[in-house]
Copies of this chain bind each other. A is one copy, B any other.
Amino acid sequence: MKTYQEMSRGELLKEKAALEAAFEKIKARGLALDMSRGKPGADQLDLSMGILDCLDSKAVLEAADGTDLRNYGVVDGIYEAKKLMADMVGTKPEHVIVYGNSSLNIMYDQVSRAEIFGYCGSTPWCRLDKVKFLCPVPGYDRHFAIMEDFGIEMINIPMTEDGPDMDLVEEYVNHDPAVKGIWCVPKYSNPQGIVYSDETVRRFAALKPAAEDFRIFWDNAYAVHHLYDDDRAEILNILEECEKAGNPDMVFQFCSTSKVTFPGAGIAAVSASKANLDDIRKHLTLQTIGHDKINQMRHAKFFPDADSVRKHMAAQAEIIRPKFELVEKYLKKEIASHGIGRWVIPKGGYFLSFESVPGCAKKIVAKCKEAGVVLTAAGAPFPYKKDPDDSVIRIAPTYPSMEELEEAVKVFVTVVRMVTVEKFVEEESDRQCQKGA
């Protein structure tokens, strides 16, 4: 089969007509499908229902240290929950503070605290003329939204298959004191599913920041979210590596059970050096009476050890892996064969990142919407919502059912082909005009 690049103008026009006809037929069906949201499906959530029985009115609501879980106290989380969260990201309980249900909230607070108070005695960022963050792209839109809220300048860092372009990261971090942070999703990155290599992690740990208060925002959101139980990616422990490299205070690691148990009712944590945690605790004590210790214990009971987490995530993988494989099948068949797109096949996480021919993403998303299939907005995985190549589309296959997903993917690949052919035809016309002119 010829790729679109190899087709003659006549062949392209024929293909275009066929695809546009197919598109009209799809539109007529009035579909309402959604591949935009990184949400677990109801069947995944069903696997966690048992957590609601872990503590009932007959339970003794006490932590091992005697703390009454129902009452005030314990601002940084009960030990049992610290242990669970530490195990999830491979660190020690004493390096962990457990919060409520949202790791995003912890990240936001960390930025907010830097703005007002500064880290560990450094100058508050609100007093500086300029604060910059590095943003590996494509990345997580909610990270970038926090930056926009605080008016922090974002700098794009291209991703490689081993993680962010570390030459560029070192260049910025080690020479520009206005660069105060970098956003990382080190395992099964959102949206590409890339796993940072050991060398990448070590180069992160060995940074020599120009800013004394530079911090790596290590959002280990998918630490245990493997698609293949027998092929689980492991990354180096960033806290340990930073400590070894003489940079113990350079990183905040975030994690949560949002996509482990219930996104609406999980627990979240930050892990960091003692100096950083003490700095957090100093303000946290004034900020809150503490977080929900009963829900912390519910999680600790539901997951008595690391192996129980692994099994639980393997059961979830059974549900979502076929969805990823379905998307990959159609991409391979309908897109790869025509040579008009790229993607990484992820082994975990919640997303695929589809990269179209440059200049097509917005139109693909718009046309899919016209046909009743909602995708994440083009540009969303970039700072300021600007994809410089207009080519990245985040695909979230987990929430729809297999049937809905298959419908949606079929629409998607048809639209990708149509928009790409239209683009090629248009470009060809332009070239003809230029020749003629």
Contact = CB atoms under 8 A, between A and B. Distances in A.
B288 A265 contact: no
Contacts of A56: 52-53, 56
A59 B262 CA distance: 15
A234 interface: no
Interface stretch (A39-47, A167-175, A370-378): A39-47
Contact of A101 (B112, B145, B149, B292): B292
A52 B59 contact: yes
A49 interface: yes
A308 interface: no
A50 B105 CA distance: 30
A51 to B, nearest CB: 8
A432 interface: no
Contacts of A71: 39-40, 42, 45, 262-264
A305 B397 CA distance: 41
A265 B105 CA distance: 18
A116 interface: yes
Contacts of A42: 68, 71
A51 B102 CA distance: 23
Interface in A46-93: 48-53, 55-57, 59, 68-74
Given A104-B287, A286-B142, A264 B294 contact: yes
Interface residues of A, number: 54
A118 to B, nearest CB: 12
A138 interface: no
A147 to B, nearest CB: 10
A289 B73 contact: no
Given A39-B71, A71-B39, A116-B115, A265 B293 contact: yes
Contacts of A146: 286
Interface string A367-391: 0000000000000000000000000
A236 B290 CA distance: 31
Contacts of A117: 149
Contacts of A112: 112, 116
A127 B48 CA distance: 47
Contacts of A69: 262, 264-265
Nearest to A267: B292
Interface string A184-221: 00000000000000000000000000000000000000
A126 interface: yes
A100 interface: yes
Contacts of A101: 100, 289-292
Nearest to A266: B292
Interface in A243-286: 258, 262-265, 283, 286
A50 B45 contact: no
A108 interface: yes
B45 A102 contact: no
B100 A292 contact: yes
A262 B57 CA distance: 13
A150 interface: yes
A286 B149 contact: yes
Interface of A: 37, 39-40, 42, 45, 48-53, 55-57, 59, 68-74, 100-102, 104-105, 108, 112, 115-117, 126, 142, 145-146, 149-150, 258, 262-265, 283, 286-295
7 contacts: A39-B71, A49-B57, A56-B56, A70-B262, A105-B289, A116-B116, A292-B292
Given A112-B116, A149-B283, 7 more contacts: A52-B57, A71-B264, A100-B100, A100-B292, A101-B291, A104-B289, A295-B295
Closest 6 CB pairs of A and B: A49-B57, A70-B262, A265-B294, A105-B288, A102-B288, A72-B263
